[in-house]
Chain A
């Protein structure tokens, strides 16, 4: 009897605690968001790629922490898909340098994030490398060849665009899903004839009997533009606009450093990414780091409230992904325009003067 009563009490207390803490949580969250607006959060959870880009300057020198006024908690991502999954699980605030194709699929799947800036326009930095001995000189020579690329990446998107534009199907060309390190391994053995990928894998294969087969100019002109972007959780950008602006200012400063003193910038980036300064410099020279002022024009993301041409690129990318049966459906262009929010980018330009 006594035991039973005690058990009942415990249970009641437990229920009470759960209800109370639940209420505190639900009531607390919006209040915290309201109170905190303009203030900095304690930590900003950033998912990033370890790569040779000016982002690594701002990370390595602690500018992101300093200018956002928070401690950045860095998690390295292996692919844009991982960043998307992290946003779906609400465990990240900012995705740094996520590719345009995973972003297009994320927006299509109504992930709770918005596009707030661009890291770079990829341009020739991701390109087809063919093995010299495979004797690939024209598009027709790709028939019967094996081409590897990491599926779901911007390179994969470009490669599929290349096949489509040239009326090749995946029956003519064997397309293999391989991570960059696996590509290098298979390339060394001579198992694959071509790859579509980025550096350092790309540079390694160019050294080991590869040559470039330029596709990007034609593909960019036909709308298969690929870029690396900055996305921020919508709840986060609403609650902490200043922190987000500061984060962007930090990247802007890093870009400036790359433009004004490239050697110093390359040394820092190399140290962060674990490569030599020369390699870092060479890698960065291939990217088109679009200045913030230019990002704010209709050519790219557009001024606040008036999404630029890049929303069209995202829409086309999403439609293509639907065609490939990677995603179920793509929303209208307006959804991509609505998901583009350059308010913070404009603030960052103003703040830096």
Chain B
């Protein structure tokens, strides 16, 4: 018993980053051994060297008449356009839904219906309605971000304690003042959580959006390379898309820390 504790304590003295580093290093070593050792076919898992040459290939020559930066840039534009519009519209509607039961009754069936709907289900409809340009793709991403943000904002408003609202009211605050100075700030932490969830699902929907009329974007590159079992390009694409998603998430967290630095501390 005491021995076991000593061991775990001893382990916990290693800083987390070192543990993360070791776990990543172990994975990389296993990967090198499995691929360069010839245990796994290149088709299933490219070796580090073929991944590197695939990466350089994409950087130098690009993929199917566009550079990899153009593909990444187009994907980023789509994600941001869909996310920003969807999160803003969703937050506004969500706040209203949380604040007013008439608004909630009006919108909640649509929001609830839209949220779990798989995007591929209405892909062809989007093409029929909005064509094959950027519009259809951004609308698809908008529709993904919207319900997630709306529900988060609504829950945020609903979780504001009654006492705070009552105190403000008894001090003579108007409805608008209560919303502006009590409800909205209290809902902000949940709105940010909703935003992080939303960018996650928007990111996950990117491939579906880029199927619409492909030939551009990281999502399409992964899809197209996958068709020819080009696992080196697929892996490079996945790494790129993953790192991009991670940095977007970090950015949101940084903004969150600045704006709602008091979250969880009051």
A pairs with B: yes
Which chain A residue shows the least CB distance to B232? A328
Contact of A176 among B44, B214, B228, B232 (CB under 8 A): B214
B212 in the interface, Cβ–Cβ < 8 Å? yes
Q: Do B224 and A152 touch (CB < 8 A)?
A: yes
The docked-state distance in angstroms from the alpha carbon of A297 to that of B232 is: 39
Q: By CB atoms of chain A within 10 A, which of B133, B228, B230 has the most?
A: B228
Inter-chain contacts of A191 with B (CB < 8 A): 127, 131-133, 213
A-chain residues with CB within 8 Å of residue B232 when the two chains form the complex: 328
| B230 with A185: CB separation less than 8 A | no
A343 at the interface (CB under 8 A from B): no
Query: Which stretch of B58-66, B142-150, B174-182, B187-195 is in the interface?
Result: B58-66
Q: How many residues of B contact A (CB 8 A)?
A: 27
Q: How many chain A residues have a CB neighbour from B under 8 Å?
A: 35
Judged by a CB distance under 8 angstroms, whether B220 is at the interface is: yes
Q: A109 near B226 (CB under 8 angstroms)?
A: no
Which residue of chain A lies nearest to B126 when distances are taken between CB atoms in the complex?
Answer: A185
- In the docked arrangement, what's the CA distance between A229 and B6, Å? 66
Report the minimum CB–CB distance from A285 to chain B (whole Å). Answer: 29
Residue B263, interface by CB 8 Å: no
Complex-state Cα separation, A179 to B132, whole angstroms = 12
Contact, CB under 8 Å: A182 / B229 = no
Interface flag for A13 (CB, 8 Å): no
Instruction: Tell me if B43 counts as interface (CB < 8 A to partner A).
Output: yes
Given A181-B124, A185-B128, A327 contacting B228 (CB threshold 8 A)? yes
B265 within 8 A of A: no
- Write the B103-143 contact mask toward A (1 if CB under 8 angstroms, else 0): 00000000000000000000110011001110000000000
Residue in contact with B64 in the complex, picked from A85, A105, A325, CB distance below 8 Å: A325
Contact A152 B227 (CB under 8 A): yes
Interface: A18 (CB within 8 A): no
B74-86 CB contact bits vs A (8 Å, 1 = yes)?
A: 0000000000000
Q: How far is the CA of A192 from the CA of B213 in the complex (A)?
A: 10
A residues within 8 Å of B by Cβ? 79, 81, 84-85, 88, 105, 109-111, 148, 151-152, 169-171, 174-179, 181-182, 185-186, 188-189, 191-192, 321, 324-328
Besides A84-B229, A151-B215, A327-B228, 9 other A-B contacts (C-beta < 8 A): A81-B229, A152-B228, A171-B65, A178-B212, A182-B123, A191-B127, A192-B132, A325-B64, A327-B230
A-B pairs with lowest CB-CB distance, top 4? A177-B214, A81-B227, A152-B227, A185-B127
